[in-house]
Structure 1
Amino acid sequence: MAEEQASGLAGLVGSSAGLSAAIMAQAKALEVDFETFKGYKKVVDDLLKKLGDSPADDKKLAHVSLPEGTLGKGFAEADALFKTYSTVHEQLQNLSKGLAGQIEALGIAILTSGKGFAGVDEETQARMRSIVRQAEKDYVPERDPMAKQKKDAEHGSTGETNKPKGKI
């Protein structure tokens, strides 16, 4: 009996050593040169600067808009067109701001990849948390095609409801 337990333990030790070796091999496969990340971060920073310098920057978009009445006055179509213009303009500002935040978050993620999030200063951690909170606040599931696919998969449909057809 004692011999059976000992051989069982030896099997566990052998399998855990094999598991450990497999995990180490996978970790080695995921290892990335930090210089590669630094180069990628430079690309991200350059994109963020280009966005900030472009007319698509959310702050610049805020200053370039049509004044009310420019499209006409006194008829419903002009009012509807101006309302649509204002909505699109506001959405472009939001898109630009969100894109800038996501690019900044990607830069922070690259920065932290070498040392882990715990090794980053408190100010950078706070900025990342702020970006995440803003992204969650701005998220609109109805506009997310992946959310619709996930919902359809959960309900076992392809977009159609699973209601019975015909009279009940």
Structure 2
Amino acid sequence: MMGFHQPFKSTAKEKLLREKVNADNSVLHLIGAYCTCSVKVVNHLVKRSPLNSISEKVIIIGENKDLLQQLKKGGYVVEELSSEVAYKNYSINVLPQMIIYEKNNIKYSGGYSKKRSPASETDFEDVAIINNSFKNTKSEALPIFGCANGENNKKQMDPLKLKYQD
């Protein structure tokens, strides 16, 4: 597991990813196909269903048909993106991550919980962060606890290949 604190500022990555969502008020969920933290986020998202007031889209980094079907059945718009394309084209280094857009402004970019391993639904803060973002109440950017993305990034984080194996 990797902990990463995303600074709260617009980066080229978030601006490029903006093309992946169509509505003015949008949330983009970036999920790792085989990241256990991402699976917890997916389970949470499916339990709560997409919010009515905004457009929510999930991008699965890597290929996982089970997660894809689970999210689609839960009512989400889902897209798959290869790990290397996500890393090279969008600089996605760590997953899971949530990005909130209001028109072309990035309102939030960060994690879902203050806890490293959310144990219950109350540990997830995404709904409050989303609601606050559209009320112009700034939310603290939460750390992203999860998995590294991209081969170079994985090699740096795990040179002995204890977690990330070929």
TM-score, scaled relative to structure 2: 0.22
**Structure with the bigger percentage of helix:** 1
**Structure with the bigger percentage of strand:** 2
TM-score, scaled relative to structure 1: 0.21
